[in-house]
Amino acid sequence: MRAAVQALAGLPIPGLPILGLPVPGLPIPGLPIHCVLDLFCDYDTHQASPAACQSCHDWSQLLAHIQASELQRVRWLPIGGLDTQPAIWAALAKSPQQLLGCSLDTVRFCKTPASWSATLEQVYPHVLPVSYQASSPPGRWFFKSGWPADPQPWFWQQACDGQLGSALFLATADRVQWVGGSRLHVTADHRYLGNVADSAWPPPVDRAALESIAYCLHQATDLRGLFGIDYVRNPHVWPLEINPRPTASVEVLAEHLGRNLYWEHLGACEAWESQSPLTTADGMRPQGPGCAVVAKRILYNGTAPLLITPAGFERLRASQAYRSVPEWLETWSSPPDASHRAVVAPGDLALQIRVADIPWPQSIIPPREPICTLLARVTADQVLSSSCADSATATWRLLEQLEMLVLATLRSPRSASDELP
């Protein structure tokens, strides 16, 4: 997803810290952007840092920018898939720079299932077997990527059917805290599709199991700041992945809980001195009252390249702020085909929708790559006859319908010439 493969940002140590935060919808109040290195530099990322958003075509170019940086003492905040890039992670931690997150050894531990599985098995009974043999063991197994620097940078993990979930924790030097959980969705070929957060998830018994897992991992490593555990529930919690950095669920949980989670991440990573003005109560206040349900869904391109026309870009840009479903549909009312007529919002939920990770006009989205992200929220006073769990299901189904509408409009020949309603 475009939001997950955001790269990193610079935070100079002297004076008032300045942060680059390439995460859609979650700027840290009071901190201007210093610089952003990003694999996409989407329109909304560029808005947050118009003078210092550097787009990198691949990981090697991103590494070259870090190594050639004229910044001297810099604090780097890794956001996305850097935990699979050992060379970049090592460069970020090279003195006199400081990495706001986990050490390279901890990242390797978390991305090597044989390591964390063996550690968890000592205290937790429900750990899926992994194998490093050349071919699949008997039965159902998933083939996954491992630590790139290992002699065998891949492994097999035994399949387990059930409901997917994602848990987020905050670690300091002496403790680990539960932040929240969300329902996790993936595509048929196991690519990340989105999250839904609501107060009914996870069940208390699952949270207790996840907290014991997180505590065990914290005892074995130097985990710092936000980190995540992806798992499957069947009927116990079976951990699938350990992500030693802020995960794609952060923006969903931050809005659901009404917390400024990146402030908390920076504080846990000791991004500033205790006397810094950034640690005042004003700077650490919650970002909002929270929402009953918050969901995000990645829109993937199909099998043919997609050109983002100027008209298509304007529709996406006009949908950047939260609006009600009827208002949102006015922007996407063309083409008047079945995909538009099929959109039916739940009658008892006053949902709000917005778009993030907006591609630039005239950009070409390759097949099967992310186009943009849909986000939806239901505030606490908008859950009427539905329970939170039912509201979460209804919200996700609505995003599925809106995905078809957006894709149909962007692919329509009319989108190249239509003006916004």
139: number of CA atoms within 13 Å, CB side? Answer: 10
Q: How confident is the model at residue 281 (pLDDT cuts 50, 70, 90)?
A: very low
The CATH number of residue 148's host domain is 3.30.470.20
DSSP 107-164: HHHHT-HHHHHHHHHTT-S----EE-SSSPPSS-EEEEE--TTSSS-EEEEE---SEE
Q: Is residue 24 part of a domain?
A: no
pLDDT score of 301? 95
Compute the average pLDDT of residues 75-90. 80
Is 124 found in the same domain as 250?
yes
Compute the average pLDDT of residues 90-119. 86
Compute the average pLDDT of residues 275-281. 40
| 98-99 vs 74-78, strand pairing mode | parallel
Distance spanning both ends of the chain, measured CA to CA: 29
Decide which of 195 and 288 is more confident: 195
The burial class, CB within 10 Å (0-12 / 13-18 / 19+), for 189 is exposed
Is 307 found in the same domain as 192?
no
Give yes or no for residue 19 having a pLDDT over 50. no
Q: How confident is the model at residue 32 (pLDDT cuts 50, 70, 90)?
A: low
Tens of pLDDT, residues 111-144: 999 999 999 999 999 999 999 988 999 999 999 9
Domain boundary among 257, 281, 308: 257
Q: Kindly report the average pLDDT of the chain as a whole number.
A: 80
Q: Is residue 410 part of a domain?
A: yes
pLDDT score of 278? 41
What is the rounded CA–CA span in Å between residue 377 and residue 82?
A: 29
Q: How confident is the model at residue 414 (pLDDT cuts 50, 70, 90)?
A: low
Q: Which domain range does residue 397 map to?
A: 291-416
Is 346 found in the same domain as 236?
no
Tens of pLDDT, residues 165-214: 999 999 998 999 999 999 999 999 889 999 999 988 999 999 999 999 99
Domain boundary among 257, 274, 308: 257
Give yes or no for residue 270 having a pLDDT over 80. no
What is the rounded CA–CA span in Å between residue 124 and residue 211?
A: 11
Is 244 found in the same domain as 112?
yes
Q: How confident is the model at residue 285 (pLDDT cuts 50, 70, 90)?
A: very low
Task: Give the count of domains, the chain.
Answer: 2
Q: Is residue 232 part of a domain?
A: yes
Q: CA 191, 292, 351, 345 torsion: positive or negative?
A: positive
Scanning the structure block, which residue is given the tokens 């699979």?
84
Task: Lowest mean pLDDT of 6-10, 304-308, 353-357, 385-389, name the range.
Answer: 6-10
Task: Lowest mean pLDDT of 29-33, 330-334, 406-410, name the range.
Answer: 29-33
Is 295 found in the same domain as 222?
no
pLDDT score of 413? 65
Q: How confident is the model at residue 76 (pLDDT cuts 50, 70, 90)?
A: confident
Task: Lowest mean pLDDT of 38-52, 213-227, 308-322, name the range.
Answer: 38-52
Tens of pLDDT, residues 341-372: 556 666 556 789 999 999 999 999 999 999 99
Is 410 found in the same domain as 301?
yes
Is 232 found in the same domain as 301?
no
Is 389 found in the same domain as 317?
yes
Decide which of 335 and 3 is more confident: 335
Would you report the helix, strand and coil content of the chain in percent, each value rounded to 5? 30, 25, 45
Q: Is residue 173 part of a domain?
A: yes
pLDDT score of 12? 43
What SS3 class is residue 301? Answer: coil
Q: For the whole model, what pTM was predicted? A: 0.88
pLDDT score of 329? 85
What SS3 class is residue 207? Answer: helix
Is 248 found in the same domain as 299?
no
pLDDT score of 345? 61
Scanning the structure block, which residue is given the tokens 């008209």?
311
Q: Is residue 92 part of a domain?
A: no
Is 145 found in the same domain as 230?
yes
Residues 6+ apart with CB under 8 A from 190: 142
Closest by CA position to 119, among listed 21, 239, 286: 239
Q: How confident is the model at residue 326 (pLDDT cuts 50, 70, 90)?
A: confident
In contact, 8 and 37? CB cutoff 8 Å = yes
pLDDT score of 75? 72
Domain boundary among 206, 237, 257: 257
Q: How confident is the model at residue 323 (pLDDT cuts 50, 70, 90)?
A: very high
Give yes or no for residue 69 having a pLDDT over 70. no
Q: Is residue 58 part of a domain?
A: no
Q: Is residue 380 part of a domain?
A: yes
Give yes or no for residue 383 having a pLDDT over 70. no
Is 347 found in the same domain as 235?
no
Is 296 found in the same domain as 237?
no
Q: Is residue 225 part of a domain?
A: yes
